[in-house]
Structure 1
Amino acid sequence: MRAAHAGDLQPLYEMAKLTGGGFTNLPADRTSLTDKLERSDAALSRDDNMITDDLFVLVLENAETGEVRGTCQLFSQVGQKWPFYSYRIGTLTQHSQELKRTFRADMLTLSTDLEGASEVGGLFLHPGERAGGLGLLIARSRYLFIREHRARFGDRILAELRGVIDEAGGSPFWDGLAGRFFGMNFQDADGFNAIHGNQFIADLMPKHPIYTAMLPESARAVIGIPHPSGRAAMRMLENEHFKFDSYIDIFDGGPTMTAETDKVRSIMEARTAPIVAIAKIGGDGAKSLVSTGRLGDFVAAYAQIENRVDGVAIDPQGAALLDVKIGDTITHVSRW
């Protein structure tokens, strides 16, 4: 894993065409991807501790071939350029004394509660590379990046999971709710949002709560449900101490997972130490995720690590991947 640069535009575009829709952070649009890379470059060029509206793009590179085969993104603080909307699931309880009955109604309320949080997203691994723990490498490298640049990120972090998309590329949730107000199908709205942002939601979406009982069953059935391809991602987030806290995406109804940044498992369990030896690691060594470097020099890879009294030993292959030597400092966390 390394920081992206302008030369990664073409492989990012090729991967974006494989996402299948509902993947707002990786649109199959060259102009939007160029803007993302330029924005990331600006964020990587600013070496201070101010938290602002930064975007960082990382890519997975095959060290042997130089091919880019995966990517992810980090947003330092959402809701700064335009509001960050979610639906919050709530319940309204009412009691009738005459009927001696209590009625509970689930409701969706348009919310900007998550503004100011950081976000991890845009994770995509090329279909030809889905083996060997590379998805975990992409996902967990984001948390080591955050740990290395902690002052640039908020105290709360979120991850939006893609919701259920049907075989035709449509969204039952969008069709049952927002589509009725916008006169746009899901593909058009999703594409517009990916390129232009979601301010049009503020302009057109009704502000009053929506009773879920008034939605068609097809829409109710997918509220808070991830796309089948996102179930593994949801489990990874849960392993990192994220949880589903009643917030869903306004477009496809997918779950928004949240966590306290300092309690994310990879951030909390990671350790920083100097390299005191580069040597073949025996049976006591741990297969770890290891990172080094700041900002544009950030890299992460799997390596064998062994704790020593005054630092750590790293295997030669891992040291070569990370381009580190004795005396350099690395951050490592066990693979699990």
Structure 2
Amino acid sequence: MSFVIRPSRPSDLDSLYDMAKLTGGGFTNLPADRPSLAAKLERSAAAFAKAEDVEGDDLYVLILEDTLTGKVAGTAQIFAKVGQHWPFYSYRLGTLTQTSQELNRTFRAEMLTLTTDYEGYSEVGGLFLHPRERAGGLGLLLARSRYLFIRQHRARFGKRVLAELRGVIDEAGGSPFWDGLAGKFFGMNFQEADAFNAVHGNQFIADLMPKHPIYTAMLPESARSVIGLPHPSGRAAMRMLENEGFRYEGYVDIFDGGPTMAASIDDIRSIRDAADANLRSIDAEEGINVLAATGHLADFRACYAQVDVEADGRATIDRRAADLLGVAAGDAIAFVAR
């Protein structure tokens, strides 16, 4: 396999734009808008160049590249700390219980409350794999490489991390959740609101969204039925998150009602179970199949590899992976079992 994960570059703009046009909407972190994508790449370059290992309002864009062709096959993003530039809004799904002594009945009402409870979390998102490459575990490589990057740069991230999954989108590109709730307050359809948010941020939500709780019983069934459900194409991503230790805690996206997953960073499986080793040689012919990473910031690389760990803790790695990572005997790698 010739695929490697690397930091983004400004020259990736055309490739990202081409992929953004394939998302089908509802993909806020990868808008089909060249100026917005260019701004993301500039922000990412600044984050990779930042000298201080401290938390901040940083964005790291990672790229999946086929080294044989030089083509970009996918991308993923890591936000070091959300809610710093503008509020990070979510709906919290809760229950209000009320009892009437006169009727001798108890009523339980499900409610959606606008919150900024996830402010200060790190976020993994923006994962998109080109349709032609959706095989061979490349989506898993993209997703898990983010966790090894966090592990290699732990001081730049907080204690908790979230992931928003795209909600249900209909065949026309609309959102039943948006149409049944927020759309009534904004005078714009889902595509318009999603595009505006991707380019300008969500301050308009704070300006126009009602602050009082919304009783779900007052929403149409089309909206109620999709609360907390991922888009069909996102079910595999949800399973990957659950396998890493993420859990749905009753928070949903304010635009499409998709689920928000969260975990303690140090409990994420790919971070918790990863190990470090110095390389003895570059000739492994047997061993365990792993996701391996090396390098700091702009030199970060990750790929699938075969690693044989010896009794003294040193390791050998297969030559193909060593070439992709740019490592030699004596270099250090981090790795986690596939």
TM tier, smaller: over 0.9
Q: Distance in 1 between matches of 2:113 and 2:57?
A: 26
- Residue of structure 2 equivalent to 1:46: 50
Q: Does 1:63 align with 2:67?
A: yes
Aligned residue among 103, 109, 117 for 2:107: 103
- Secondary structure of residue in 2 paired with 1:132: coil
How far did residue 49 of structure 1 move?
Answer: 1.5
**Deviation (angstroms), 1:281:** 2.2
- Name the SS of the counterpart of 1:44 in structure 2: helix
Aligned to 1:293: 295
Letter of the aligned partner of 1:293 in structure 2?
Answer: G
Helix, strand or coil: the match of 2:271?
helix
Give the residue type in structure 1 aligned to 2:64.
L
Residue 250 of structure 2: aligned partner = 246
The Cα of 1:280 is off from its aligned counterpart by: 3.2
Q: Which residue pairs with 1:89 in the alignment?
A: 93
Match in the other structure for 1:77: 81
Identity of aligned residues (%): 69
DSSP 3-state at the match of 2:206: helix
1:322 counterpart = 2:322: no
* 1:186 maps onto 2:209 in alignment: no
Distance of 1:46 and 1:267 partners within structure 2: 23
- Please state if 1:303 is matched with 2:305: yes
Question: When the two structures are superposed, what TM-score results if normalisation uses the length of structure 2?
Answer: 0.98
Aligned amino acid, residue 303 of structure 1: A
**Aligned positions, number:** 333
Alpha-carbon contact 2:226-2:257 (below 8 Å) kept: yes
SS class of match (1:313): strand
Deviation sequence 1:116-135 (CA, Å, 0-9, x none): 00000000000000000000
- Partners of 2:284 and 2:195 in 1: CA distance: 49
State the alpha-carbon separation in 2 of the partners of residues 149 and 47 from structure 1.
12
Which residue type is aligned with residue 329 of structure 1? A
Query: What displacement does 1:100 show?
Result: 1.2
Q: Which amino acid in 2 is paired with 1:299?
A: R
Moved >2 Å (runs of 4+): none
2:19 counterpart (15, 19, 26): 15
Q: CA deviation at 1:278?
A: 1.3
Task: Note the C-alpha offset of 1:309.
Answer: 2.4
Amino acid of the structure 2 residue aligned with 1:317: R
| Secondary structure at the counterpart of residue 335 of structure 2 | strand
Q: Could you say which residue in structure 1 is the equivalent of 2:36?
A: 32
- Map of 1:104-253 to 2, 5 A cutoff? 104-253=108-257
Partner of 1:331: 334
Distance 2:288 2:158 in 1: 31
Equivalent AA in structure 1 for residue 15 of structure 2: P
Report the Cα distance in structure 1 between the residues aligned to 2:247 and 2:334, rounded to whole angstroms.
26
Partner of 1:87: helix, strand, or coil? Answer: strand
Give the 3-state SS of the residue equivalent to 1:275 in structure 2: strand
What whole-Å deviation, never above 9, does each CA across 1:45-66 have from its counterpart, x for those lacking one? 0122211100000000001111
Q: Which amino acid aligns with 1:246?
A: G
Distance in 2, Cα, partners of 1:69 & 1:278: 27
Paired letter, 1:68 = V
The RMSD of aligned alpha carbons is 0.6
2:244–2:268 contact (8 Å) kept in structure 1: yes
Q: In structure 1, how many angstroms separate the alpha carbons of the residues matched to 2:259 and 2:240?
A: 14
Deviation of 1:325 after TM superposition, in Å, equals 0.2
Q: Secondary structure at the match of 2:13?
A: helix
Q: Which amino acid aligns with 2:249?
A: D
CA contact (8 A) 2:231 2:258 kept: yes
Matched to 1:99, the amino acid is L
Q: Deviations over 1:17-56 (max 9, x none)?
A: 0000000000000000000000000010012221110000
Partner SS state of residue 99, structure 2: strand
Work out the CA distance in 1 between the residues paired with 2:262 and 2:293. 24
CA distance in 2, matches of 1:82, 1:48: 23
TM-fit CA distance, 1:101: 1.0
Unaligned runs of 5+ in 1: none
Displacement after TM superposition at 1:158 (Å): 0.2
| Code of the aligned partner of 1:318 | A
Instruction: Provide the rounded CA distance (Å) in 2 between the counterparts of 1:316 and 1:246.
Output: 46
